[in-house]
Amino acid sequence: MKKSESARKTNAARLLDQAGIHYELIPYEVDENHLSADEVAAKLGEDIAYVYKTIVLRGDRNGYFVCVVRGDSEIDLKEAARISGNKRAELIHVKELLPLTGYIRGGCSPVGMKKPFPTYYQASIADLPYVYVSAGIRGLQLKISPADLIAFTGGHLF
Residue 33: its pLDDT value, please?
Answer: 81
DSSP state of 9: -
Instruction: Read off the pLDDT of residues 61-119 as tens digits, 9 standing for 90 and up.
Output: 999 999 999 999 999 999 999 999 999 999 999 999 999 999 999 999 999 999 999 99
Residue 6: its pLDDT value, please?
Answer: 46
* % of the chain residues with pLDDT over 90: 91
Instruction: Read off the pLDDT of residues 20-70 as tens digits, 9 standing for 90 and up.
Output: 999 999 999 998 888 899 999 999 999 999 999 999 999 999 999 999 999
Cα 78 to Cα 149: distance, rounded to the nearest angstrom: 25
Question: ∠ CA 116-119-120 to the nearest 5 degrees?
Answer: 180
Q: Are 37 and 88 in contact (CB under 8 A)?
A: no
